């Protein structure tokens, strides 16, 4: 699906996902949950945020590989309908992103909902301990959860994170110092690390 976006503007990408969210909603005869979404403009382009009245479930750059799959998984998990609007978590993360990209915030406080396996959640919680402006290798992350041989599984869990920046998977790099992977785009990963290092 990403090939469809080659040469496309942010507005064209946003329109695609807007139509996708609307289409998912039309496909449901009955629903169990309403999830509210918002587009948040940042220095690195738009981010999609999805929340209910209590928790943030998703925060991703519009260039995120697999974003369409993540939206579908959320809807299927909760039998949800998407509406555009504002909830307390969406208001909170909008304010925090502005502070983060201004170099005035290093630790997000918006309440989040972790949707993953116990192993994935263990990895994500450990990711949150990586200090602002610092990086770990995948091997360091695996050792930190006391599973040093599971660095490949750790890397996969890292890639399944749906809460960009809040769970700072961008702070994990290859052992040789190279950037490694990042679902939100390596150009964004590089920019995020540069932003954080410039503030410490």
Per-residue pLDDT of the chain (200 residues; tens, 9 = 90+): 455 565 678 888 888 888 888 876 676 678 899 999 999 999 999 999 999 999 999 999 998 988 999 999 999 999 999 999 999 999 999 999 999 999 999 999 999 999 999 999 999 999 999 999 999 999 999 999 999 999 899 999 999 999 999 999 999 999 898 998 899 999 999 999 999 999 87
Query: Which H/E stretch holds residue 17?
Result: helix 10-26
Could you tell me where the beta strands, DSSP code E, fall in 74-178?
A: 80-84, 136-137, 172-173
Number of independent structural domains in the chain: 2
Q: Are residues 55 and 85 in the same domain?
A: yes
* CB-neighbour burial class of residue 186 (10 A; exposed 0-12, middle 13-18, buried 19+): middle
Asked if residue 112 belongs to a domain, the reply is no
Asked if residue 156 belongs to a domain, the reply is yes
Domain containing residue 156: 118-197
Q: Are residues 29 and 70 in the same domain?
A: yes
Residue where a domain terminates, one of 72, 101, 130: 101
Q: Are residues 78 and 124 in the same domain?
A: no
Strand 136-137 and strand 172-173: the pairing is parallel
Range list of H helices, 102-185? 118-127, 138-144, 151-159
Tokens of 62: 């519009």
Q: Which of 38, 169, 172, 193 is catalytic?
A: 169
The 45-51 sheet, strands edge to edge: 56-61, 45-51, 33-42, 80-84
CA distances from 85 to 5, 77, 89, 90, 119 (A): 26, 21, 11, 9, 33
Answer whether 0.85 is exceeded by the pTM. yes
Q: Are residues 84 and 156 in the same domain?
A: no
Q: Are residues 25 and 94 in the same domain?
A: yes
Determine whether 169 is an active site residue.
yes
8's CB contacts (< 8 A; 6+ apart) are 16
């Amino acid at each position: 699906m990403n090939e469809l976006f080659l040469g496309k503007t942010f507005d064209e990408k946003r329109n695609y996902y807007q139509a996708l969210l609307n289409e998912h909603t039309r496909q449901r005869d009955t629903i169990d949950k309403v999830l509210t979404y918002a587009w948040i403009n940042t220095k690195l382009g738009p981010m999609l945020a999805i929340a209910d009245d209590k928790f943030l479930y998703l925060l991703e750059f519009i260039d995120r590989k697999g974003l369409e799959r993540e939206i579908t998984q959320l809807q299927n998990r909760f039998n949800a309908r998407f509406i555009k609007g504002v909830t307390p978590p969406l208001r909170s993360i909008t304010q925090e992103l502005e502070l983060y990209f201004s170099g005035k915030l290093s630790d997000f406080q918006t309440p989040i909902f972790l949707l993953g396996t116990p192993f994935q959640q263990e990895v994500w919680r450990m990711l949150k301990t990586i200090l602002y402006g610092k990086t770990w290798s995948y091997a360091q992350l695996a050792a930190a959860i006391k599973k040093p041989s599971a660095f490949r599984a750790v890397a996969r869990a890292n890639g399944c994170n749906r809460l960009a920046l809040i769970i700072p998977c961008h702070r994990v790099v290859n052992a040789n110092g190279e950037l490694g992977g990042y679902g939100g785009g390596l150009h964004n990963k590089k920019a995020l690390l540069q932003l954080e290092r410039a503030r410490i």
